[in-house]
Amino acid sequence: MTSDVIASVPPVKNSLLGRMPVVKQLRQSVGLQRGMLIAGLSITGLFVLVAVFAPLIAPYGFAQLRDAQGSFGAQQPPSAAHIMGTTVGGYDVFSRVIWGAQTAVLVIVLAVVFSIVAGILLGLVSGYIGGWLDRVLVVIGDAIYAFPSLLLAIVLSIVISGGQSSLWGGILAAALSITVVFIPQYYRVIRAETIRIKAEPYVESAKMLGASTSRIMFRHVLRNATRTLPIIFTLNASEAVLTLAGLGFLGFGIEPSAAAEWGYDLNKALSDVTSGIWWTALYPGLAIVLSVLGITLVGESLNDLADPRLRGRKRVKAKAGAVSLTAVDQTLPSDVEIREENA
């Protein structure tokens, strides 16, 4: 019968893999949410793989101008030797796009990690201790948050880089300038969660048992205040790509001889577009759009799944299906009833 079939289906194991953030959201998603999440993960995964294996994928170096056959030439159209053509400076566009993914990933990782560490510590201390320290940090955070982010990143990039254009110097300057922009976002979220959690009964019980302030903050409060960080991480990662491209486009990014950067390449391609040379601007622009699109799709999907009303749709449908199957099973006559009627 139908009930026997349903009972014979093995339950889904609550394994460690099933509890991982992205895998858990994949199992909870349904319909359009699942499609958005899978598409975002696919684009983001491809973006990360290209960045990791850039030395193997790129046919030339990011600052290479010639090979064994001679100079590449400036503004050469796409061909077998250069599938995306060459720039006005004589660089291979395909190689610059591939190496640019590596630069973007390094800046994203450094910027988000720095901002997460600083934002969590400041928000945890501010929300739990309170007092004058909380008021001072709130004012500073609001002031930074209200300041135009790109303008703040430009000022900090000039101050931090000091005119240096080395690979790690430029990457650290861009990452630190983006970090200062992101810190208030993590600070405000962690502070609000800390204020809510410190009034919970289990925190009061820990205080009565004599637990130290640091133990309560980092063992009881922190573990429950960071559940929304994956969502903020994905949204900030896409913003970091745009901020890095904006710095490079305005001339405050990394020099082409130090590393490949999509915003800088777009800046140098402005004059090419009016001359009908489309390939120097198309491919760096597509790289920015696709990378931001992939990360944004992941972030928006995680944000939707964090909403209990949206997350519960799948469970409601599953329960409705189970109830309908049970109702059908109850309406079907059993074998004993059929024999009695025949007799």
* Residues 122-159: tens digit of each pLDDT: 888 888 888 888 888 888 888 887 777 788 888 877 77
Summary mean pLDDT of the chain? 77
Residue 100, domain CATH? 1.10.3720.10
Q: Which of 67, 84, 91 lies closest to 265, judged by CA?
A: 91
Q: Is residue 212 part of a domain?
A: yes
pLDDT recorded at residue 290: 93
Do residues 123 and 196 lie in contact, with contact meaning Cβ atoms separated by under 8 Å? no
Let me know if residue 118 belongs to a domain. Answer: yes
Average pLDDT over residues 47-63: 90
pLDDT at residue number 3:
46
Specify if 91 maps to a domain.
yes
- pLDDT exceeds cutoff 90 at 97: yes
Question: H-helix or E-strand containing 71?
Answer: strand 70-71
84 in a structural domain: yes
Q: Identify the weakest region by mean pLDDT among 61-70, 218-227, 332-341.
A: 332-341
Residue 332 domain flag:
no
Other C-beta atoms within 10 Å of 107: how many? 29
Q: Which of 6-10, 175-179, 278-282, 312-316 is the least confident region?
A: 6-10
Q: What angle do CA 118, 121, 123 make, to 5 degrees?
A: 100
343 found inside a domain: no
In this prediction, residue 10 carries a pLDDT of 46
pLDDT of 83 higher than 80: yes
- Predicted pLDDT of residue 80: 85
pLDDT in tens, 280-291: 889 999 999 999
pLDDT at 133 (0 to 100): 86
Q: What's the pLDDT score for residue 26?
A: 60
For residue 284, what is the DSSP state?
H
234: enclosing H helix or E strand: helix 229-249
What value does the mean pLDDT take over residues 79-85?
Answer: 87
First to last CA, the chain: 22
- Domains: count for the chain: 1
pLDDT (0 to 100) of residue 75? 81
pLDDT at 53: 93
So what's the pLDDT on residue 249?
87
Between 166 and 133, the higher pLDDT residue: 133
**What pLDDT score does 165 carry?**
57
User: CB neighbours (10 Å) of residue 226?
Assistant: 18
Task: Using the Cα atoms of residue 151, residue 251, residue 171 and residue 39 in order, give the sign of their dihedral.
Answer: positive
pLDDT above 90 for 35: no
Q: For residue 147, give Cα distances in angstroms to 83, 139, 150, 184, 185.
A: 42, 12, 9, 11, 13
At residue 248, the pLDDT reads: 84
The reported pLDDT for the residue numbered 37 is 80
Structural domain for 300, as ranges: 14-327
Percent share of the chain, pLDDT over 90: 9
In the predicted structure, residue 229 carries a pLDDT above the cut 80: no
Contacts of 337 by beta carbon, 8 Å cutoff, 6+ apart: none
In a domain, 149, yes or no: yes
Model confidence band, residue 85 (pLDDT cutoffs 50, 70, 90):
confident
Does residue 82 sit within a domain? yes
